[in-house]
Amino acid sequence: MNLPNYKEARVRGKESFPIENFVLDKKYQELGRGKTYYIKTYGCQMNEHDTENIKAILESMGYVEAEDMNVSDVILLNTCSIRENAHNKAFGMLGRIKHLKENRPNILVGLCGCMAQEEGVVKKIGEDYPFVNFVFGTHNLYDLPQILSNVSISLKQEIEVLAKPCKMMEDFPLKRVSNKKAYVNIIYGCDKFCTYCIVPFTRGQERSRRREDILKEVTALVRDGYMEVTLLGQNVNAYGKDLYPDYSLANLLEDVSRTGIPRIRFMTSHPWDFTDEMIDVIQKYDNIMPSIHLPVQSGSSRVLKQMGRRYTKEEYLTLFKKMRERIPNVTISTDIIVGFPTETEEDFNETLMLAKFCQFDNAFSFIFSKREGTPACKLEDLTTEEEKHRRLHQLNQILNEGFLASNQRLLGKRVPVLVDGVNETSKTALFGYTDTNKLVNFDGDCSLIGKIVLVEITECKTWSLDGKVVSDINVNV
Ligand code: SAH
Ligand code: SF4
Ligand code: F3S
């Protein structure tokens, strides 16, 4: 048994991490033969991408994906810790699984992802959730075959969580959700330690992947006909700092651009180390999409300081304006937290003013959620729940006005759209995303899926656009 440990998880060192290639031991290759699995994934793109690894590991062991949790032999929850409601969802699901297991006692139930890295969660699973057979963390996905083998023969709960990462894995098998759009990890972990955030504890120290491994992966995706890659990390702007003296995200973006992949996105960028060089590169290469997610979190410099964000409102706005000026048609989206423990009405009004000024193209807004173990958890909370909800509602109204204004600027324009798929509701309605990451619905034939087509925008709503295809040649290639 190995348990999560926040004291160790908090430590940041200068060590480099050994890199190994994943190989499935022969003795596990038949373990899942004739059996099925079901994975429920919560949280961010990093978790979705981990699920793509986990599915491939399970399938290399002979397991087959089940359509439905009720009939599968292994049920795995890949969990998220970011806010309390993510916790509640996972625990709610465990409640359902408990009932399921009363009728089918032989199913194996596992929990992984960020919640598995939380001391309190693992303690609770050990004490109150005996029907959970196994737990593993974000740092040791590669242990899954061995853990499954152990729980298949032993009746005791298997908890194998590493408090901090000890090595990096390459050649992880992948079962990608899409055959046109791919996630590619470039950096793991986060060293920013924003005072409200649990991620530095659950994902560990920043570790960049070697540039040659990233470029090899993207080159293979181009060869396989992929149209878009999203370079992933909790803080992609830190890319390379732990590995190279003079190779940064700007350099990596240039190299990825030269692979010829039609569309490149990246997320998430911390405003603090977003360099001018990055702006130049985005502006220079047509296949780097002019769409940047730049979380601001608050419009009050006082609150930003307490959040440990390392920039002031003025510095954020300077960067924001520079992006708007230098990158034609750029769209900028953001994340905002309301109700940070010390946030006053005045602070909140500054956030409203910033949102009004920026007219973000898209945004995610949240009510502050206390995370056990983070510094902000200890701050005295000044605001009632009711007031926090009021603030969120007021902010959302302003954000929505910005989204609509941003969408309306596209009315009558012809924009390139990568066709994602068919709308659930209608067989002839397709949907896709513009270069600027806006959702567009339009009529068209299924044969367009996976292509970049030109769409004329005919109607603009707050959350999406309607349009008609004006050219169905693959415009970017
Ligand atoms: N690494 C990314 C953020 C990942 S978490 C970045 O720094 O931009 C996504 C968003 O969740 C954050 O931007 C923040 O707005 C929100 N968030 C994180 N911790 C939170 C908490 N304790 N309560 C409410 N929202 C939180
Ligand atoms: Fe969390 Fe801040 Fe790291 Fe983003 S940069 S993951 S908000 S600690
Ligand atoms: Fe959630 Fe972990 Fe992502 S906490 S947001 S799944 S990094």
- What is the DSSP track for 361-413? SEEEEEE----TTSGGGGSPP-S-HHHHHHHHHHHHHHHHHHHHHHHHTTTT-
Q: Ligand 1 atom 12: the closest Cα is on which residue? A: 335
Burial 359-373 (b: 16+ CB within 10 A, else e): bbbbbebbbbbebeb
Q: 3-state SS of 148-204?
A: HHHHHHCCCCEEECCCCCCCEEECCCCCCCCCCEEEEECEECCCCCCCCCCHHHHHC
Instruction: Read off the pLDDT of residues 316-373 as tens digits, 9 standing for 90 and up.
Output: 999 999 999 999 999 999 999 999 999 999 999 999 999 999 999 999 999 999 999 9
* The pair of three-digit structure tokens given for residue 445, joined into one six-digit string: 């034939």
pLDDT > 70? residue 475: no
Query: Which of 197, 231, 368 to probe ligand 1 with, by most ligand atoms within 8 A of CB?
Result: 197
Closest ligand 2 atom, CA of 198?
1
Give dist(CA 276, CA 273) in Å, integer: 10
**Band of pLDDT at residue 427, cut at 50, 70 and 90:** low
Q: Ligand 3 atom 1: the closest Cα is on which residue? A: 80
Dist. CA 207 → ligand 2 center (Å): 15
Pocket flag, ligand 2, residue 78 (CB < 6 Å): no
Query: Which of 234, 304, 316 to probe ligand 2 with, by most ligand atoms within 8 A of CB?
Result: 234
Residue of 264, 263, 203, 262 whose CA lies nearest to 238: 203
Q: Ligand 3 atom 7: the closest Cα is on which residue? A: 199
- Rounded (10°) angle between helices 144-153 and 45-60: 60
Contacts of 471 (CB under 8 A, 6+ apart): 453, 454
- What is the DSSP track for 416-431? EEEEEEE-TT-SSEEE
Instruction: Read off the pLDDT of residues 93-105 as tens digits, 9 standing for 90 and up.
Output: 999 999 999 999 9
Contacts of 30 (CB under 8 A, 6+ apart): 61, 62
Given this model, what pLDDT does residue 155 score? Answer: 79
Dist. CA 461 → ligand 2 center (Å): 31
Report which residue type is found at 387: E
Closest ligand 1 atom, CA of 192?
7
- Rounded (10°) angle between helices 249-258 and 276-284: 10
User: Do residues 166 and 189 touch, judged by C-beta distance below 8 A?
Assistant: no
Query: Which of 45, 82, 191, 193 to probe ligand 2 with, by most ligand atoms within 8 A of CB?
Result: 193
Share of the chain above pLDDT 70, in %: 99
Against a cut of 0.85, is the pTM above it?
A: yes
The residue whose two tokens read 């920039």 is 311
Q: Cα 449 to the chain's mean position, in Å?
A: 24
**Band of pLDDT at residue 273, cut at 50, 70 and 90:** confident
Query: Which of 50, 79, 81 to probe ligand 3 with, by most ligand atoms within 8 A of CB?
Result: 81
Give dist(CA 40, CA 86) in Å, integer: 12
Q: How many helices (H) and strands (E) does the chain have?
A: 13, 21
Give dist(CA 258, CA 288) in Å, integer: 10
- What is the DSSP track for 311-332? --HHHHHHHHHHHHHHSTT-EE
Average pLDDT, the chain: 96
Q: Ligand 3 atom 3: the closest Cα is on which residue? A: 44
Instruction: Read off the pLDDT of residues 63-76 as tens digits, 9 standing for 90 and up.
Output: 999 999 999 999 99
- Provide residues with CB under 6 Å of ligand 1: 82-83, 196-197, 199, 234-235, 268, 270, 295, 297, 335, 337, 366, 368-369, 371
Dist. CA 42 → ligand 3 center (Å): 8
Residue of 247, 365, 370 whose CA lies nearest to 298: 365
* The pair of three-digit structure tokens given for residue 142, joined into one six-digit string: 């590669």
Given this model, what pLDDT does residue 474 score? Answer: 67
Pairing of strands 362-367, 414-422: unpaired
- The residues with which 265 forms a beta bridge, in sequence order, are 230
Closest ligand 1 atom, CA of 336?
15
Dist. CA 292 → ligand 2 center (Å): 16
Instruction: Read off the pLDDT of residues 114-155 as tens digits, 9 standing for 90 and up.
Output: 999 999 999 999 999 999 999 999 999 999 999 999 999 887
Given this model, what pLDDT does residue 224 score? Answer: 97
Dist. CA 44 → ligand 3 center (Å): 5
Q: Cα 79 to the chain's mean position, in Å?
A: 12
Burial 124-163 (b: 16+ CB within 10 A, else e): ebeeebebbbbbbbbbbbbbbbbbbbebeeeeebbbbbbb
